[in-house]
């Protein structure tokens, strides 16, 4: 939490890449809910679910102060063929 805008975007991009790969190895520096997310990713991998990034933003995208931002990601997990 509370990185500057550019650093947050870099950390969030790496975190999103891990989530998209179902890599259940996130830590507290990547996501405040890392324990729950890792559990979900583990279950998704075991069930061969697809993961799709819906949106990735941070609080600097919606307010002018970009010196201390918090990131947010939205992902969908689903069965079936990969959709583009």
Residue 51 has pLDDT above 80, yes or no: yes
How, if at all, do strands 50-58 and 71-78 pair? Answer: antiparallel
Alpha carbon distances (Å) from 75 to 63, 65, 67, 84? 23, 26, 26, 14
| The pLDDT of residue 83 is above 90 | no
Domain boundaries, the chain: 5-78
Note the pTM of the prediction, 2 decimals: 0.90
3-state DSSP: the chain helix, strand, coil percent, rounded to 5?
A: 40, 25, 40
Q: Mean pLDDT, to the nearest integer, of 43-58?
A: 97
Residues belonging to the chain = 84
Label residue 44 by pLDDT band (50, 70, 90): very high
Instruction: Name the band, by pLDDT with cuts 50, 70 and 90, for residue 64.
Output: very high
With a cut of 80, say whether residue 40 has pLDDT above it: yes
Q: What is the pLDDT of residue 80?
A: 87
């Amino acid at each position: 939490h509370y990185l500057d805008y550019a650093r947050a975007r870099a950390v969030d991009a790496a975190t999103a890449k891990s989530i998209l790969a179902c890599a259940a190895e996130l830590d507290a520096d990547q996501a405040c809910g890392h324990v729950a997310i890792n559990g979900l990713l583990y279950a998704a991998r075991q069930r061969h679910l697809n993961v799709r990034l819906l949106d990735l933003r941070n609080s600097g995208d919606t307010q002018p102060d970009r010196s201390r931002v918090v990131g947010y990601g939205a992902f969908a997990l689903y069965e079936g063929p990969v959709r583009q």
